[in-house]
A and B are shown apart, each in its own frame.
Chain A
């Protein structure tokens, strides 16, 4: 039985999808059987970030009951990915109840299931959060992001999803809220601090995750450290190859 972890933030645009895409690749490289799922049903972006061509089977097809989740797998650099449907009409046929079952199915086949959560705390976010055992919070070092993170913590507690830590993204400005203060107020350990990096926008334009495009950048190295931490939690005995 694998573990499912959703990456949530409350606030949009903090970097969840970017982190999930790159972290997924890093985890797969550590030979952990990993799948990432685009749980942002209204605004999927994993496909775009990872350069997966559109018009393939998606999570929407799974959630409308058309296909099994194994038929919606795409491979990117050794990582299994379930993308979302870019056409909005796809939203009409979704049966939210299938979400939890889909994650359960994946937990049986993978060691780690990573779910990219939608922004906000609407129905889609709640379904994604409640379907996962654990959560990683993603924030930017700004007050608005901290408020949204607190809301997410409140919801996660109610839904029984355990929050294992926080990742601070787009860090490095002198106006950053000090990272220890963020850890304090959220009462969470910091799993990683990722710098603001322009290469990430170029990577998006090229449809190639930055960990592949610029493996030696600080962002990529930090992602690898986060992956190592998750790996250690899940699998304390498996050597990192």
Chain B
């Protein structure tokens, strides 16, 4: 069973994502802050990380950068999942934060599921 780590400070959002993903048979683990997310990623080595941007302790972009700079975690695909969805934000996700993809909130069930399936199967980068 594929394990997906959701890092988001808003419990309602986490609840919704969990509901959608668990129904499709994914195992979902959650963290409610950037630092907690990083710790959990190291401990659990998930197959995919879904990452909010606006969190009180640390921007999701920073979390992604840290994941991608960590030899043990860098191969785990990361998708930013955020309301910040101007072209500038998406570019920041892909280039500066080195995330693998950027999904815009509000969450669209179909889009989320196809993006998750794709990222688990064939993430666009492998470094």
Give the interface of A toward B (CB within 8 A).
Answer: 142-143, 146-147, 150-151, 153-154, 157, 174-175, 177-178, 180-181, 184-185
The complex places the Cα of A175 from the Cα of B125 at a distance, in Å, of 10
**CB–CB A181/B122 < 8 A:** no
**CB–CB B124/A142 < 8 A:** yes
**CB–CB A185/B90 < 8 A:** yes
User: Within the complex, which residue of A143, A153, A157 is in contact with B94, where a contact is CB–CB below 8 Å?
Assistant: A143
Contact residues of A: prevailing secondary structure: helix
Which residues from chain B contact A146 at a C-beta distance below 8 Å? 94
The complex places the Cα of A143 from the Cα of B98 at a distance, in Å, of 11
Which residues from chain A contact B125 at a C-beta distance below 8 Å? 143
User: Within the complex, which residue of B95, B104, B114, B115 is in contact with A147, where a contact is CB–CB below 8 Å?
Assistant: B95
Q: Is B61 an interface residue (CB 8 A)?
A: no
Q: What is the count of residue pairs linking A and B with beta-carbon distances less than 8 angstroms?
A: 37
Which residues from chain B contact A177 at a C-beta distance below 8 Å? 118, 124
Which residues from chain A contact B91 at a C-beta distance below 8 Å? 147, 150-151, 154
Task: Return 17 A-B CB contacts under 8 Å, by A number.
Answer: A142-B124, A143-B100, A146-B94, A150-B90, A150-B91, A150-B94, A151-B91, A153-B87, A154-B88, A154-B91, A157-B87, A175-B122, A180-B114, A181-B101, A184-B111, A185-B101, A185-B102
- Given A175-B122, A181-B101, also A150-B87 (CB < 8 A): yes
Q: Which residue of A lies closest to B124 (CB)?
A: A143
Which residues from chain A contact B102 at a C-beta distance below 8 Å? 185
Q: Which residue of B lies closest to A174 (CB)?
A: B122
